[in-house]
Amino acid sequence: MRVGMRLALALLAFCLLIAFPEVTKADERRDGGYFTLRDESGEMITMTARELDPGDQYIAGDNRLFEVVRTEGDEVLVRFVETVELPDVSGELLGAQVAQAEEGGGVVGIYHTHNDESYVPTSGTESRDDGRGDVLEVGKTLASGLEEQGLTVYWSDNSHIPHDGQAYIRSRRTAVELLQNEPDTLIDVHRDATPPEVYETEVEGVPATKVRLVVGRQNQNREANLEYAKRLKAVADQLYPGLVEGIFDAKGNYNQDLGPKTILLEFGAHTNRLDHAKQAAEFFAKVIPAAAGLTPSSKQAAEEQISGGASRSLVWTVLIVGAVGGAFLLISRGKIGSLAGFFRREAGLGERDPETDDDR
C-alpha cells in the first residue's frame, strides 16, 4: 500500500480517537460506594455510582444544569451553569393517550448491558452471577407497557457478563442485532447504586422509583441523543411530575453512536424494591411514544427537535473529516513534512523513500 493512503488512514484513526474515544474503563463504582454531587455552596444535588469526569454535566430534576469540576474521594464538586429550558410538549400531549392506543405505531428495541443487576430488598443480592438479574424484569415490564400502546417491541435478555469495562463492547453486538429491526428508539435498561432515598418517589399516589437518563458525550450522536433525553424528561414532567431524577451528559459512548434516539435509563438503585422499579417502567412506557415522536401529535415536533441536535453533531463530523482531508492534502503535497513524519512514526511506517513515495 502506498504511504499516502496509509498516512491518511492513520490520521483518520487519530482524529476519530480524539473526537469519539471509546471508554473501556468501568462506568460505575463496584466497591459498594457512591458519589455525592455538591455545588459551591455545599448543597447536595444528587448521588450516583457513576464515575464522573471534569466537563460531565447533569440536568437536575428542577432543570438546573451543573458541570463537574473535580472529584475528591466520594465528593464531586459541581458548578451551576444555567437553568435549562426543556422543549414545550404540552400541545403534543393533548389526547396523546387515545392517539397511542388507536393510531400509535413504531418499533422499540430494549436490551441490558448489565443484565446481572438486581435489587437487594427483593432478591437479597445486588448482582446475579448467572446474569439473570432483576433488571431483566424491569426491561420486560417496559416492553409490555409499550406493546399495550400498539408499538412493536424487540426485547433482548442476552447476557453480557461479567459486569466490567468491556460489557459495553459485548452488548454492542446485541444492540447491532436489534438495529436490524429498524427501531425508532433503542433503550439500554439499568439500575443505579445509591442509598434508596435518591430514587424513592410516589407517582399519582403509587410508590415507584425515579428514572435517570444517561447520554454519552463521546459519540457523534451526542447532540441528538441529548435533545431526545430532554424530550423524554419534558414529557415525563408533564405526565408524571417527579418521575425523572435527572439527565447525565457523561463521559463515555454507551453504544449511542449507533443512532440519534439511543438512550440509557436507570430505574432506581440496588437499594430499592423491584416492584417499585417495575412500576416506574409502567409509567415510563407512557412517556416514550410521545417523546420519540411515535404518536401523530408528536411526530413533527420530535423530528424537528431531535434532528436539530443531529445536525449539530453532523457539523462536528464534517469538520473532523474536513480536517483529515486537508491534512492529507498538505501531507501529500509535502507542505507539512514534519507532521507527516510524526504520523509515520506514530503509525510505525518508517521513513519515506522520496523516489518511490513508498516506505523504506
Q: What digits encode the pLDDT tens for the residues 75-120? A: 999 999 999 999 999 877 755 454 454 455 799 999 999 999 999 9
Dist. CA 339–CA 353, nearest whole Å: 16
Dist. CA 38–CA 78, nearest whole Å: 6
Dist. CA 292–CA 287, nearest whole Å: 9
CB of 269 closer than 8 Å to CB of 191: yes
Dist. CA 30–CA 34, nearest whole Å: 9
Over pLDDT 90: what percentage of the chain?
A: 68
Residue 65 has pLDDT above 70, yes or no: yes
Q: Are strands 35-38 and 44-48 parallel, antiparallel or unpaired?
A: antiparallel
What's the number of CA atoms in the CB half-sphere (13 Å) around residue 161? 12
CB of 56 closer than 8 Å to CB of 79: no
Dist. CA 253–CA 219, nearest whole Å: 6
Secondary structure element (H or E) that encloses residue 189, with its range: strand 185-192
Question: Who wins on pLDDT, 95 or 316?
Answer: 95
Q: Residue 98: its pLDDT value, please?
A: 43
Are 106 and 229 part of one and the same domain? yes
What is the Cα 273 distance to its own chain's centre? 24
Dist. CA 125–CA 123, nearest whole Å: 6
Residue 305 has pLDDT above 70, yes or no: yes
Residue 72 has pLDDT above 60, yes or no: yes
Are 235 and 353 part of one and the same domain? no
Q: Residue 318: its pLDDT value, please?
A: 43
Residue 66 has pLDDT above 50, yes or no: yes
Stated pTM of the model: 0.80
What would the mean pLDDT of 217-235 be, rounded to a whole number? 96
Question: Who wins on pLDDT, 6 or 213?
Answer: 213
What's the number of CA atoms in the CB half-sphere (13 Å) around residue 17? 7
Specify the residue for cell string 453533531.
313
Whether residue 149 lies inside any domain: the answer is: yes
Burial label, 231 (beta-carbon count in 10 A; 0-12, 13-18, 19+): buried
Are 320 and 302 part of one and the same domain? no
Are 13 and 120 part of one and the same domain? no
What is the domain count for the chain?
2
Which among 29-43, 96-110, 305-319, 346-360 has the top mean pLDDT?
29-43
Are 333 and 240 part of one and the same domain? no
Question: Who wins on pLDDT, 299 or 161?
Answer: 161
User: What number of other Cβ atoms are within 10 A of residue 182's Cβ?
Assistant: 9
> By C-alpha distance, which of 224, 229, 239, 215 is closest to 287?
239
Q: Residue 185: its pLDDT value, please?
A: 97
Question: Who wins on pLDDT, 44 or 339?
Answer: 44
Q: Residue 95: its pLDDT value, please?
A: 53
* Three-state SS at 163: coil
What is the Cα 311 distance to its own chain's centre? 18
Whether residue 67 lies inside any domain: the answer is: no
* Three-state SS at 297: coil
Whether residue 53 lies inside any domain: the answer is: no
Q: How many residues does the chain have?
A: 360
Are 307 and 320 part of one and the same domain? no
Mean pLDDT of the chain: 83
Are 167 and 273 part of one and the same domain? yes
Whether residue 301 lies inside any domain: the answer is: yes
Dist. CA 33–CA 301, nearest whole Å: 41
Are 339 and 205 part of one and the same domain? no
The C-alpha cell that represents 44 in the structure block: 447536595
Domain boundaries, position 165 = 91-311
Residue 357 has pLDDT above 90, yes or no: no
Are 260 and 277 part of one and the same domain? yes
Are 256 and 348 part of one and the same domain? no
Q: Residue 310: its pLDDT value, please?
A: 55
Over pLDDT 70: what percentage of the chain?
A: 75
The C-alpha cell that represents 174 in the structure block: 446485541
